[in-house]
Amino acid sequence: MIDILVVDDNLQLRDTLRTILNKRPGFQVIGEAADGIAASQLAQTLRPAVVLMDVGMARMDGVEATRRIRALLPNTVVIGMSCHTSREVEAALRAVGANAFLPKELVPEKIFDVLAEQLPPPVAAT
């Protein structure tokens, strides 16, 4: 099971992502956060395999939260999401350790493709 932390200040998007991810076998949303401070705290406690990270949030943005999470959990995959699709936003996230970036409008349709690219293939049982 791939444990996922969803971080976004938009409750509707968090609900949508939780629904999409929990319907797919092998994926489970284990926590949600509305800002970077809560995300950093939850990541430390829950130790997710994947964090879906919004960039623009109050209290602590996704860039700083990504930096903190990657320092604490270097093997956790962080996928940045933003309404702002500029190269600067993606570059800022990647500079602090994000593995991938998706514009928010593409998240529902592309998230499983990006996860497949970022996660190791499952080990077959013998």
First vs last Cα of the chain: how many Å apart? 18
Q: In this predicted model, what pLDDT tens digit does every residue of 88-116 receive, in sequence order?
A: 888 999 999 999 999 998 988 899 999 99
Determine, yes or no, domain membership for 39.
Answer: yes
The CATH number of residue 81's host domain is 3.40.50.2300
Range 114-122 average pLDDT:
84
Determine, yes or no, domain membership for 124.
Answer: no
Contact 48, 76 (CB under 8 A): yes
How many domains is the chain partitioned into structurally?
1
% residues pLDDT > 70 (the chain): 95
> How open is the CA angle 3-8-11, to the nearest 5 degrees?
100
Supply the range of the domain harboring residue 65. 2-118
Determine, yes or no, domain membership for 126.
Answer: no
Determine, yes or no, domain membership for 103.
Answer: yes
Determine, yes or no, domain membership for 108.
Answer: yes
Determine, yes or no, domain membership for 61.
Answer: yes
